[in-house]
Amino acid sequence: MRLVKCTDCGAEISPRAKACLKCGAPLRRGCNRRTAAIIFGCLVAFLIIARVARESPRDAVTTAEVIRAEPAPQAVEPQIAESNLMSRDDVLRAIAAFREACRPLGGAMWADLTAVKARVQKEYAPHRLAKGWKTSIELELVVPDKPRLIPAYDERTGVIAGHHLWYDLGGGKEPGFFASKRVSQMLCGSPIDQNGNVTFAKAPGLAFIP
């Protein structure tokens, strides 16, 4: 057993002794290392909890301010030119069907567009007449200069920010849409024609277009 020194005379005595055998002074018992560690740990934990409780309200306010400063984008209202070929409701229905077929643009990215313009026209182009189209919807979509959801650049197509995307929607015997730009093709998941030719993608939801 390890002996301890008397604090009065310095004599070595047993730690179990109640008093020094040499001078008779009572043995002063201090706290051991384990007890000291427990006390220190409790003190540190208390200080941490107190600091978190003091800073949490400030952090909550900061988060709320960030949310208010950056609201989620909302999809713009389509601008539809007047036409006696199709009703506005049918054009909106066609746009909805196009969004389902054109992904990823038709999904969350759609809210990034600054303008959605639609114009119904009597068909005359040979490549669209070949699909059995009598009427088509020309769709113009405007990408902002600083998009938040749409990528601003793509290695396959170059700059996307600020672009005007063009699509022609039709029904007939082959319902679908033509994409006239590489950017337009890429954002709809269509094969990209590096020669600048239009590409066609099927969209059964557009079959109602006359």
Q: What range does the domain containing 106 cover? A: 79-206
What the block records as the tokens of 27 is 């043995």
* Cα 30 versus chain centre, distance: 59
Could you tell me if residue 73 is inside a domain? Answer: no
pLDDT per residue as tens, the chain (210 positions): 677 777 778 777 777 777 777 777 776 655 456 666 777 777 777 788 877 666 555 444 444 444 455 556 688 999 999 999 999 999 999 999 999 999 999 999 999 999 999 999 999 999 999 999 999 999 999 999 999 999 999 999 999 999 999 999 999 999 999 999 999 999 999 999 989 899 999 999 999 998
- Within a domain: residue 155? yes
- Residue 149 maps to a domain: yes
The whole-number pLDDT of residue 56 equals 53
Q: Under a CB-based contact definition with an 8 Å cutoff, are residues 143 and 160 in contact? A: yes
In a domain, 43, yes or no: no
**Is residue 140 included in any domain, yes or no?**
yes
Sequence-ordered list of residues with C-beta below 8 angstroms from that of 170, at least 6 positions apart, any chain: 123, 128, 131, 133, 135, 136, 137, 176, 177, 206, 209
Is pTM, for the whole model, over 0.95? no
Write down the pLDDT at residue 30: 52
Give the pLDDT of residue 61.
Answer: 45
Question: What is the tally of structural domains in the chain?
Answer: 1
Question: Residue 168 domain-assigned?
Answer: yes
Residue 159: per-residue pLDDT: 95
How far apart CA 27 and CA 17 sit, in angstroms, is 7
DSSP, collapsed to helix, strand or coil, labels residue 135 as strand
Q: What is the pLDDT of residue 43?
A: 79
Q: Is residue 194 part of a domain?
A: yes
Determine the pLDDT at residue 108: 94
For residue 136, being part of any structural domain is answered with yes
